[in-house]
Structure 1
Amino acid sequence: MLARQRQAIILEEARRDGAVRVSDLVVKLGVSDMTVRRDLDVLAGRGLVEKVYGGATSMMGKSTDEPGFEAKSVRQRAQKNAIASMAATLVRPGTAIGLSAGTTTWTLAHALDSVPGLTIVTNSIQVADVLRASGQSDRTVVLTGGVRTPSDALVGPVAVHSLRTLHLDLVFLGVHGMSESAGFTTPNLTESETDRALVEAGRKLIVLADHTKWGVVGISTIADLNEADTVVSDAGLPQSARDVLTERVGELMIAPVPGADELPEESAC
């Protein structure tokens, strides 16, 4: 078994159970104690687990943890770029689309420069800044207004009221986490209400979520898995997650990450 395959299994175990023991992993994986510890060092270095005596704990965090925009923008850059490039192919010239707040939708905003005639509605200050900086004269950008969150989203009654008067062709939703039981979630209660209004404004919902979002649960559900017409993720998404999403969502699109070695589907993470 390749090192990345072992690490994928270890991470999935940690996320499912909250923690893993070196002794248990030695038996499960059929490798030495030293090999397991090296794998845990790699995962800890990537910020995915925290090493403790005799094993490691998951770094999924509390359901209300919400890193700021700058902190999130440096995570999984290659994956987000790949997801954004694939998502941009779904946008047709002259359509009206919605972009939620988040670093993956912010990355998508950069990828939309080649699509003419768009009307783009967003509750994200960061996304709006990117779109306006493009200087395209045939583009209309609508910023909802509202109260600013740590992730630079505009939320609350003003944002919700604005969104409930609109009708969009596509809505692209960035999420804090996704799981089989909780669906697509956020750690911010007020932001979830605004995101739900954005989802309801669109004819089709496209969720953008890299593989690290699987198994992460925020305090509030934005939408159930079966409400998504499309989910765009990256090649690191575990096969168990792919099976669930393929069954529950309209379409699952997997974006290849240039320069990254893809894992076999049964052990991807």
Structure 2
Amino acid sequence: MSENLNLLAEQRRAVILDEVRRRGGVRVNELTKRLGVSDMTVRRDLDALARQGAVEKVHGGAVPPAEASSHEPGFEAKSGREQGAKESIARVAAELVAPGTAIALSGGTTTYALAQRLVEVPELTVVTNSVRVADVFHRAHEGRQGRATVVLTGGVRTPSDSLVGPVADAAIASLHFDLLFLGVHGISARAGLSTPNLAEAETNRRLVAAARRVIVVADHTKWGTVGLSSFAPLSAVDTVVTDEGLPREAREELAERVESVLVADAPPVV
């Protein structure tokens, strides 16, 4: 009997954890209705998840555990997160790019996914401070006609394989491009766009200043996250491309501050 109860508890906690990650937080009274259990049972489940470090308890519910604002995960660690959402975002963002356009792609795993969809768009000029993004175009276009012209900025490499610092900043300052596709560590109404890396913040400022239109590609988990350094307010963003996991309230808040919000549906299951 105890094994069945433990299994049920594990199932409940999996549901709770999924809700916290998907929505950015949950309330006890919502979980009691969703799970059909008492307040006390939900609070015990939250206590157990908090002890594991999976959630952070707050008054009346729980939110994702807070990371230090200066913590910067490496590229490989980030690439395993929200892969389906990133692919959906990349699919929608790629539709915004016309042949012959001059575009910039910042570092990040979502822009990396986007780069893989842009290799078939002819005659692009691509400015990037991402080693990974540059490699995507190099591998795809080696020995082919109509390939993209890729400008890699140079600079000092970050844990997320972006090139930043004075060399990158100087290269970007002399350029102008039609569209900037910007991956972000965090996006919020209060802090705007932010990153845990101070040098990357300055390089991102240069990218934003050089772009005619700024398009942020960010999955729902980035909403409400605040890194050490803000580099642009939401008013500097023209379009946000996100996924359907972003709560309705967050979409409405974004829509008040940027020109357009594009929500990518999940790809069909084949």
For the 8 Å contact 1:10–1:25, the answer to whether it is kept is no
Cα deviation 1:85-138 (Å, max 9, x = unaligned): 000000000010000000000010001122111000000101111111111432
Deviation at 1:6, TM superposition (A): 9.1
1:98 aligns with 2:104: yes
- List runs of 5+ in structure 2 lacking aligned partners: 1-14
1:162 aligns with 2:168: no
Alignment partner of 1:12 out of 24, 28, 32? 24
For the 8 Å contact 1:97–1:169, the answer to whether it is kept is yes
1:231 aligns with 2:261: no
Q: Which residue of 2 aligns with 1:84?
A: 90
In structure 2, relative to structure 1, the CA distance for the partners of 1:48 and 1:147 (3 Å cut) is: same
Q: Which residue of 2 aligns with 1:66?
A: 72
Query: What are the equivalent positions in structure 2 for 1:1-269 lying under 5 Å apart?
Result: 7=19, 12-13=24-25, 25-26=28-29, 29-30=32-33, 31-32=37-38, 33-34=40-41, 49=55, 58-135=64-141, 136-138=144-146, 139-258=148-267
For the 8 Å contact 2:107–2:129, the answer to whether it is kept is yes
Cα deviation 1:28-53 (Å, max 9, x = unaligned): 855424356668889999x862589x
For the 8 Å contact 1:7–1:43, the answer to whether it is kept is no
For the 8 Å contact 2:46–2:62, the answer to whether it is kept is no
Report the 3-state secondary structure (helix = DSSP H, G, I; strand = E; otherwise coil) of the residue aligned with 2:99.
coil
Number of equivalenced pairs: 247
Report the 3-state secondary structure (helix = DSSP H, G, I; strand = E; otherwise coil) of the residue aligned with 2:256.
helix
Deviation at 1:12, TM superposition (A): 3.5
Q: TM-score if structure 2 supplies the norm length? A: 0.82
Q: Which residue of 2 aligns with 1:267?
A: none
Q: Which residue of 2 aligns with 1:263?
A: none
Which amino acid in 1 is paired with 2:133? V
In the aligned structure 1, how far is the partner of 2:31 from the partner of 2:114? 40
Deviation at 1:179, TM superposition (A): 0.6
- List runs of 5+ in structure 1 lacking aligned partners: 15-23, 261-269
For the 8 Å contact 1:80–1:104, the answer to whether it is kept is yes
Deviation at 1:257, TM superposition (A): 1.1
Report the 3-state secondary structure (helix = DSSP H, G, I; strand = E; otherwise coil) of the residue aligned with 2:24.
helix
Indicate the larger mover: 65-74 or 32-41: 32-41
In the aligned structure 2, how far is the partner of 1:59 from the partner of 1:98? 33
In the aligned structure 2, how far is the partner of 1:203 from the partner of 1:8? 36
Report the 3-state secondary structure (helix = DSSP H, G, I; strand = E; otherwise coil) of the residue aligned with 2:266.
coil
In structure 2, relative to structure 1, the CA distance for the partners of 1:43 and 1:129 (3 Å cut) is: farther
Cα deviation 1:67-91 (Å, max 9, x = unaligned): 0000000100000000000000000
Which amino acid in 2 is paired with 1:12? G
In the aligned structure 1, how far is the partner of 2:157 from the partner of 2:240? 27
In the aligned structure 1, how far is the partner of 2:30 from the partner of 2:204? 44
Cα deviation 1:6-39 (Å, max 9, x = unaligned): 925995347xxxxxxxxx7148855424356668
Moved over 6 A (4+): 39-45
For the 8 Å contact 1:146–1:158, the answer to whether it is kept is yes
Structure possessing the higher radius of gyration over alpha carbons = 2
Deviation at 1:204, TM superposition (A): 0.2
Indicate the larger mover: 57-66 or 25-34: 25-34
Q: RMSD of the alignment, in Å?
A: 3.1
In the aligned structure 2, how far is the partner of 1:68 from the partner of 1:242? 28
Report the 3-state secondary structure (helix = DSSP H, G, I; strand = E; otherwise coil) of the residue aligned with 2:199.
helix
Deviation at 1:60, TM superposition (A): 3.1
Indicate the larger mover: 35-44 or 207-216: 35-44
In structure 2, relative to structure 1, the CA distance for the partners of 1:39 and 1:89 (3 Å cut) is: farther
Indicate the larger mover: 132-141 or 156-165: 132-141
In the aligned structure 2, how far is the partner of 1:169 from the partner of 1:105? 16
